[in-house]
Amino acid sequence: MKSILVVDNQISFCNLLKKFLTKSGYHVETTTQASHAIQILKKSPFQVVICDYRLPNAEGNVFFEMIKSVCPDASVIFTSNQINLKNVVTMIKEGASSYLSKPINPDELVEILEENHSKKKKAENSVKNIYEQTANKNQSEYVVGNSKRAREVQFNLNKVGPTDYSVIIEGDTGTGKESYARLIHQISSRRAQPFIAVDCGCLSKELAGSEFFGHEKGAFTGAVSHKTGFFEMANGGTIFLDEISNLSSDIQMALLRALQEKVIRKVGGTKEIPIDVRIITATNEDLLAKSETLGFREDLFYRLSEFVLKIPTLKERGEDIFQFIDFFLEKTSEELGRQETPKFSDEAMGLLETYHWPGNIRELKNAIRSACLYIDKNNCISAASLPDRIRNNNGSLAGTYKVPDLSYHESKNFSKEEEKDLKSVALMAESEKIKEVLKDVKYNKTKAAQKLNIHRKTLYSKLKTMDIAY
């Protein structure tokens, strides 16, 4: 049932409108005070507000801003005994749904209400369709992954993406923080507006203000013309600030003001320019911890951290590495104009699997791009095509890679009665065989799957089902 709030200084008008609209199937509440109306809207949002333009304690334009601040999705219909054309034009341009002259024609009002409801439904469906199309498109452009950590990230991304929240993306170097920032932008209502990516580590302290906010001609030595800053470029869209911890305290303060006031001022300028941007930041540091050591403003951290998205390392994503390998092989083959996507040899796959990937996804991508230049006549990439650091790892579990714990958890130990059960005995024998083979091949799961004559994904599934840590 559609809900309507009627605000008018004449009680008789409120009662008359409530009686008529209630009969037409609407839920209606009334009040004669603008302040009371705002209190009502704070407690329970209404779909439509019908109000007199001249209330005793609030002019129409002021009251309109108050309504939108507490109930932004409400449609506002103004009424007035005397129509002022300037007021009508101004309020319609500001976003009011309609402006009616008193006495109101009941049939005309219902027609406007139904038309307004129909337009909102179409807009909602349009946004929903665009979101679904974008989400489907993104599946072919990005690797989502099937690991538990990857699913957690995707779940959180789908929650925060359609909102207008400020987001901090935390993750090690090379984990794909900018890719996730672009995904957030693409599934938001700002997708048709600019996405501006800024590497804060490349900005000098002297020129950062000019880069962010622009400058006027003659503002400083070398300012020979006007410059548009990043915030103006991103207006209506999203600005992505990578490695934001590198910004100086002066720029942090200017950034905080811009975000709070939603205005910027160019270097050397006096005019305040309104901005509407969504801000996404990325860091490989703990910003809150850094704020405690006076390196980063704590108030800026809390302004930016409406939502924190944590990106796992490649090693933490487990079996997702094979999806990344297939994805980068296919993309690189398309780029090189190859008709058939190559495959890695068993030895090469083993090296890719056991390497510890300190550079995460970026390092894996570059290794595959390099290897794709050396494909043999069988459309295969051998281990010799991989970078030296990966070949020298040689399955020896170098670097941060640890020998897996192949023991069962205590909860998985079988009791004497269970050991008599044929299914349990078979399961125990299967797990012992898997552990034995994994040790033989130095925990190379690709080779282990081949030796066991099962698919690699089946091996991962069995390791997970049997609760064997890997």
Residue 73 falls inside a structural domain: yes
Indicate if 248 and 324 belong to the same structural domain: no
Give the whole-angstrom CA distance, residue 74 versus residue 78: 13
Average pLDDT over residues 129-152: 64
Indicate if 11 and 153 belong to the same structural domain: no
Indicate if 350 and 287 belong to the same structural domain: no
Between 210 and 95, the more confident residue is 210
Indicate if 170 and 296 belong to the same structural domain: yes
Number of structural domains (the chain) is 4
Indicate if 330 and 244 belong to the same structural domain: no
String of DSSP letters for 240-302: EEETGGGS-HHHHHHHHHHHHHSEEE-BT---EEE---EEEEEESS-HHHHHHTTSS-HHHHH
pTM of the model: 0.57
pLDDT tier for residue 328 given thresholds of 50, 70 and 90? very high
Q: What CATH number does residue 60 fall under?
A: 3.40.50.2300
Between 272 and 134, the more confident residue is 272
Indicate if 111 and 193 belong to the same structural domain: no
Residue 460 falls inside a structural domain: yes
String of DSSP letters for 315-359: GGGTTHHHHHHHHHHHHHHHHHT-SS--EE-HHHHHHHHHS--TT
Indicate if 67 and 8 belong to the same structural domain: yes
Residues 121 and 114 sit within 8 Å (Cβ to Cβ): no
Residue 405 falls inside a structural domain: no
Q: What CATH number does residue 358 fall under?
A: 1.10.8.60
pLDDT of residue 121: 63
pLDDT of residue 292: 65
Q: What CATH number does residue 416 fall under?
A: 1.10.10
pLDDT tier for residue 88 given thresholds of 50, 70 and 90? confident
Indicate if 322 and 302 belong to the same structural domain: no
Residues 52 and 8 sit within 8 Å (Cβ to Cβ): yes
Indicate if 273 and 322 belong to the same structural domain: no
pLDDT of residue 423: 58
Indicate if 362 and 429 belong to the same structural domain: no
Residue 412 in this model has a pLDDT that exceeds 60: no
Kindly give, in sequence order, each residue whose CB lies less than 8 Å from that of residue 315, ignoring residues fewer than 6 positions away.
Answer: 356, 357, 400, 401
Q: Which of 43-57, 139-153, 264-278, 310-324 is predicted with the least confidence, judged by mean pLDDT?
A: 139-153
Determine the structural domain holding residue 58 and report its residue range.
3-119
Residue 146 falls inside a structural domain: yes
Indicate if 114 and 11 belong to the same structural domain: yes
pLDDT tens profile 265-276? 888 888 888 999
pLDDT tens profile 174-225? 999 999 999 999 999 999 999 999 998 888 777 888 889 988 888 877 777 8
Residue 159 falls inside a structural domain: yes
Indicate if 353 and 439 belong to the same structural domain: no
